[in-house]
Structure 1
Amino acid sequence: MKIRQKDCVCEVPQHVAVLGDETTSAAAPRVESGPIAVLPENHDDNTIGGSQVFRDAVIEAGGDLQPLGPDTRGLVWLSYTKSSELGEVLAANPHLTWVQLPWAGVDAYAQVLSELSRPGLVFTSAKGSYAQPVAEHAFGMIFALLRLFPRRIRATSWDAEPKGISLFNKNVVIIGAGGIARELIRQLEPFNTHITVVRRSAGQVPGAASTVTTNRLHKVLPTADVVVVAAALTGETTHLIGAEELALMKPTAVLVNIARGPLVDPDALVEALNAEKIYGAAMDVTQPEPLPDGHPLWTAKNVLITPHMADTPDMTAPLLAERISRNVAAFIAGEQFTGVVDTEAGY
């Protein structure tokens, strides 16, 4: 398959979706199919790329691509920032039966999902689609922290202190059991790490030495050399990692967050880093976001911050196009969607 972007036809990158059990097992009722609209027509989100690739995905999967109208039943929504506009569209078009959202996390649409969910309307997300590039980013962050790259790269004189930690045989705690966690487990395999997955529901995760529920997070944090936050952001998970959790971690442990900024309390993190209660932290997401100039997190000890760039438009466009194609085919055939959103749970 090839993806058309702007004026060229590009080969699909090597990334593929990694599906967790929550991505494929959520039941959704069969819905009435019909024409599909792709909106907003001129979205301003620069993290998705142009919309033509996604329109092509609808057509290539056999969908009837049409402007939004009274016969429209499916909606592919491309904007992350225009959640209020999506709410207006849904309120004005009660005949819609399926909405495809552009990102793995749906926290930006929490109010829309809460207020406008109804029987006969299914929301799907891109969860699992971006797992490989995000896990790849997390993997790099783990190495950078253990080998003190943030400190080394800022140095302006020779730093002869022999510090650095090997990843081999270390205990890794991954919070979240979706595609990112599963892909990261695969990437960590050559290092003989002992992996514990912390998840909301019971059930083993392939490749993990153990899987525990969230209420046992405090039991496993003291054992961790590496903690990776890869969970969905909900009301229950806001500041999941705060002062109490950071105090439970080893002074040689590192923290990586590639999920959502509010999962980690930024004030508690700054204090823990500067007091050397933990070895280091890497954040691809922050609270607030963008992280303003002068924020104390920028200058905290052994911190690495990337500007929500664990994936880029070049990586995500073909992956979202594949998810759209898959769900358009399911929509037409009356089959099970991939990435069904649990509107009550918020992911």
Structure 2
Amino acid sequence: MYEVMCRAVTAGGGRLVEPADAEGLVWADPAGVDSFPEVVADARNLEWIQLPYAGIEPFAHHLDDRWTWTCGKGVYAPAVAETTLGMILAGQKHLHGYSRATSWSGPVGRVLAGSRITVLGGGGITEHLLPLLAPFGCDVTVVRRQDEAFSGADRTITTGRLFEVLPRTDVLVVALALTAETTGIVGVAELAALPDHAWLVNVARGGHVVTEDLVEALRSDSLGGAALDVTDPEPLPDGHPLWSEPRCLITPHVANTPEMGLSLLEPFVAENVSRFCSGEVLLAPVDVALGY
């Protein structure tokens, strides 16, 4: 990632300098969050910080309104939306079950066309997912903090009205930022409110779902199934009950891989560097107060 970000900085018209001389900081070491205080300690001219990912939880305790923050919000959304559609189809068509079978089995599955889809979150993933769902004629409800209409959705409601739509949801998609407010947003009550045939698809963060409650819902046949690109804990330990759950499809947080993401991130960062140098409005700002 470091070499890619260096290219992005120069492509955007910036110069690579030491932190002490920097006005902008492009963070290119996602695993090195602990070194952040040391890096910025002498950066007296620092104005702007660009983070590499859409999810900024590792940096949450470093957020400071002395600086303008931006992240990778929306950059990876096309890739994640594609995975989301794949997971929805896999669940509806029972592909996970057939792939595990060792003998011929009977017909299982549902039609996606006309299904009722509820999406938690009104960000980039949802923005790219809805056009992918459009050919199937699904009835889509977007649940977000504000009830401002979301383009492509049949209806948009606030989080406080979630239980109004859960009982008539065929697929519940989790695609929102992880904050203190959204941690555990899908737990025993939400899972119980879903129809027995409903599927849960989580492509956001594992912490959105109370894992123990999900395990129990699957064991008790009160949920059709779950497709998870993220888990809590993550990585999911060997021997965890979800691994052996026949109605659970798990991928190891690969809805967006480095191969997919870096080619998308490089021009995005270059554009933000160019905007910063020109004094223009930056892409994907982080709200320090909200934490995303």
TM-score, normalised by the number of residues in structure 2: 0.97
CA distance in 2, matches of 1:68, 1:168: 53
- Cα distance in 2 for partners of 1:211, 1:301 equals 33
Q: Cα deviation per residue 1:22-74 (whole Å; 9 max; x = unaligned)?
A: xxxxxxxxxxxxxxxxxxxxxxxxxxxx42222111111111222323x2111
> Residue 86 in 1 paired to residue 41 in 2?
no
Q: Are 2:169 and 2:198, in contact at CA under 8 Å, matched by a contact in 1? A: yes
Instruction: Give the drift of 1:263.
Output: 0.2
Deviations 1:176-226 (CA, angstroms, capped at 9, x unpaired): 001100111000000000100000123111000000011011111111111
- Asked whether the 8 Å contact 1:237–1:263 carries over to 2, the reply is yes
Could you tell me which residue of structure 2 aligns to residue 19 of structure 1? none
Distance, in Å, in 2 between the alignment partners of 1:269 and 1:275 is: 10
CA RMSD of aligned residues (A): 1.1
1:227 aligned to which of 172, 185, 188: 172
Distance 1:155 1:214 in 2: 39
Counterpart-to-counterpart distance in 1, 2:24 and 2:75 = 20
Of 114, 131, 141, the match for 1:169: 114
Query: Residue 39 of structure 1 aligns with which residue?
Result: none
Residue deviations 1:250-308 (CA, integer Å, cap 9, x gap): 11110100000000011000111111111110000000000000111111231000000
Picking from 76, 84, 89, the partner of 1:130 is: 76
Pairing partner for 1:76 from 26, 38, 41: 26
Per-residue CA shift, 1:216-246, capped at 9, x if unaligned? 1111111111110001000011110001000
Consecutive unaligned residues of structure 2, counting only runs of 5 or more, are none
Which structure 2 residues correspond to residues 169-318 of structure 1 after superposition, within 5 A?
Answer: 169-318=114-263
Residue aligning to 2:46: 96
Q: Report whether the alignment pairs 1:64 with 2:9.
A: no
Counterpart secondary structure, 1:102: coil
User: Is the contact between residue 83 and residue 112 of structure 1 (CA under 8 Å) also seen in structure 2?
Assistant: no
8 Å contact kept, 2:19–2:39 = no
CA offset at residue 81 of structure 1? 2.3
Structure 1 residue 92 displacement after superposition? 3.6
Paired-residue identity, %:
45
- Structure 1 distance, partners of 2:252, 2:3, is 26
Match of 2:278 in 1: 333
Cα distance in 2 for partners of 1:52, 1:83 equals 18
Equivalence for 2:65: 118
What is the DSSP-based 3-state SS (H/G/I as helix, E as strand, rest coil) of the residue aligned with 1:281? Answer: strand
TM-score by length of 1: 0.82
1:316 is displaced (CA, Å) by 0.5
**Distance of 1:241 and 1:88 partners within structure 2:** 37
Moved >4 Å (runs of 4+):
none
Structure 2: how far apart are the matches of 1:276 and 1:110? Answer: 37
1:158 aligned residue: 104
1:180 alignment partner AA: I
- Does 2:5 align with 1:54? yes
Report the equivalent of 1:36: none
